[in-house]
Amino acid sequence: MTGTVVEKITKEDGRVKVKVVTKILEANDRIALENRRLFDKARVFVVNLMSAPGAGKTSVLEKTLAQGTGLRIGVIEGDIAGSDDAERVEKFGIPVVQINTGGACHLDANMIYEVIGDLPLAELDLLFIENVGNLVCPAEFKVGEDMKVMLLSVTEGHDKPLKYPLMFQESSALILNKMDLVPYTDVDISKIRKDALSLNPNLKIFEVSCRTGAGIAEWTAWLGEQAGKG
Amino acid sequence: MHEVSIAQSIIEIVSGQCRKGGYRSITSIRVRIGRASGIMPDALLFAFDAIKADSPARQAVLEIEEVCVSGRCRDCGRDFSVEGEYVLDCPLCGGLAFEITAGREMDVTDMEVEE
Ligand SMILES: Nc1nc2c(ncn2[C@@H]2O[C@H](COP(=O)(O)OP(=O)(O)OP(=O)(O)O)[C@@H](O)[C@H]2O)c(=O)[nH]1
Ligand SMILES: [Mg+2]
Ligand SMILES: [Zn+2]
C-alpha cells in the first residue's frame, strides 16, 4: 500500500468521512529513496550503523579506519548534541559531517538529505552513518542506506534480541562488541546468537573487541566484500 | 520512543488532506499500527495530544487500530496470528519456515472532518 487514496463519504448523520490510506512514514521513505538515488549515482555504498548509547559505534569506526579497507570512507555522525564523535573520526583525515538532531532520538532521511552536499560523494566508496544511540527508533527510519548494521555490547545482556526484535530483524549484520568483557559478566553469547538468528536467519554475526582488536579483520573483510557488491 | 515523530507525521498527513479538501477541522483520525512496528499506542496517543494544538487536528481524537503479528507457515501450510511482537517458530506446528504477513503496519486509514 503506497501512495494516497482519497475518497469522501458523507454519512447519513451528515458527518463526513475521508478515506486517506497513507503510510505514516511515506514522506520519510520518499526522501530516503532520493538519498539512495544520489548515493547510487555516485557509487557510494552506505551503511547505517545503529546501537544503544555507548555500545561502541564510534570505536568500531575508529578500528575499521585504522585497519584499512582499501576503500575511500566518509562518515556522517548523528548525535543529539556535540561533536565529540566527529572529532574522533576526523583524526583519520577523512571527510566527516556532524549532524545534531537537537533532541530527536534518531536520524531521519531529511537530516541526511540536507548534508549530502557537504560530502565529496564522488571521492567516496563507502559512507558510514553513525545513528543516534538508541535501540528502538532508528530501525524504523530509512535514511537511504544500502544496509543496516547494529552493534550490541555484551554488557547489555542476552535478553536484548527478544526485547528489541525490530532492530535485529532490520539489520544485515550484528557486531557483538566488547567481547573482552565476557569473563566479567554472566552474558550468554550462544543465546544472543540463537535468538538473533531466529528473528533474522540471514543476520551475519561478528564477535569483536575494540579493546583487543579481535574480530575487526573479519568484520572489515566482510564489509569490503559488501561494498564491492554495492 | 519516536512516537512524537510519528504523531507529527500523522498530523502532517491529515493537515495536508484538510487543506486540499478545504475542510474546517478534523474531528477524528484512524490509524492502523502493527504490533511489530515498535510503536506503543499509549505513547502515541500521549504524543498526539501533546502536539496537536496548532494544527487543524487540534480537536481530533486519535483512534488506533492495533494489528496482530500474523504469518503463514510453509511447513504446515496454515495461517497464524500471535499476541506478541515477534514469532520465533510457527505456533501451530513449531516449524521454522514461515513468513510474516502482517504486524508492521503504520498507516493513516481515514478521518472525519467538518466541512
Ligand atoms: N572494554 C571495552 N570497551 C569498549 C569497547 N568498545 C568500546 N568501548 C568503550 O565503550 C565506551 C563507548 O564507546 P563509543 O565508541 O563511544 O560508543 P558509541 O556507541 O559510539 O556511543 P554513542 O555515540 O555515545 O552512542 C568508550 O569508553 C569505549 O572506550 C570494547 O570492545 N571493549
Ligand atoms: Mg558514538
Ligand atoms: Zn506450522
A141-170 per-position pLDDT tens digit: 999 999 999 999 999 999 999 999 999 999
pLDDT single digits (tens) A8-26 = 888 777 789 999 999 999 9
| pLDDT of the residue at B1 | 65
| Interface contact flag, B9 A199, Cβ < 8 Å | no
- pLDDT confidence tier of residue A1, bands split at 50, 70 and 90: very low
Q: A5 in helix, strand or coil?
A: strand
Report the sign of the C-alpha dihedral through residues A68, A70, A72, A75, in that order. negative
Show residues of chain A in contact with B109, CB under 8 Å. 19-21
**Domains in chain A, number:** 1
Q: Which residue has the higher pLDDT, A3 or A183?
A: A183
Interface mutation vs chain B, best among A4, A22, A168, A191, most B CBs within 10 Å: A22
Residue B110 maps to a domain? yes
Judge whether B21 is closer than 8 Å to chain A, CB to CB.
yes
Residue B91 maps to a domain? no
- pLDDT confidence tier of residue A7, bands split at 50, 70 and 90: confident
| pLDDT of the residue at A68 | 85
Kindly report whether the global pTM for this prediction surpasses the value 0.90: yes
Tell how strand B98-102 and strand B69-73 pair up.
Answer: antiparallel
CATH number at residue A53: 3.40.50.300
| pLDDT of the residue at A3 | 54
pLDDT single digits (tens) A170-213 = 999 999 999 999 999 999 999 999 999 999 999 999 999 999 99
**Binding-site residues, ligand 1, Cβ < 6 A:** A 51, 53-59, 85, 133, 177-178, 180-181, 209-211
| Interface contact flag, B5 A108, Cβ < 8 Å | yes
Show residues of chain A in contact with B5, CB under 8 Å. 104, 106, 108, 137, 141
Judge whether A102 is closer than 8 Å to chain B, CB to CB.
no
Q: Is B110 exposed, middle or buried (0-12, 13-18, 19+ CB in 10 A)?
A: buried
Task: Please identify every residue whose CB atom is under 5 Å from ligand 2, which is an ion.
Answer: A 57-58, 85
Ligand 1 atom closest to the Cα of residue A212 is 31
The whole domain housing B31 covers 3-68+103-114
Smallest-distance ligand from the CA of A60: 1
Residue pair A81/A102 in contact by the 8 Å Cβ criterion: yes
Residue pair A14/A112 in contact by the 8 Å Cβ criterion: no
Residue B58 maps to a domain? yes
Which A residues 116-135 touch B at CB under 8 Å?
A: 134
Residue B82 maps to a domain? no
Cα B81 to chain centroid distance, Å, stands at 17
Cα separations in angstroms, A78 against A152, A187, A210: 18, 29, 20
Cα A62 to chain centroid distance, Å, stands at 16
Residue A7 maps to a domain? no
Going by C-alpha positions, the residue among B5, B60, B2 that lies closest to residue B30 is B60
The whole domain housing A67 covers 27-229
**Domains in chain B, number:** 1
Residue pair A15/B99 in contact by the 8 Å Cβ criterion: no
Show residues of chain A in contact with B1, CB under 8 Å. 105, 134, 136-137
A57, three cell numbers: 559505534
Ligand 3 centroid to Cα of residue B68, in Å, is 17
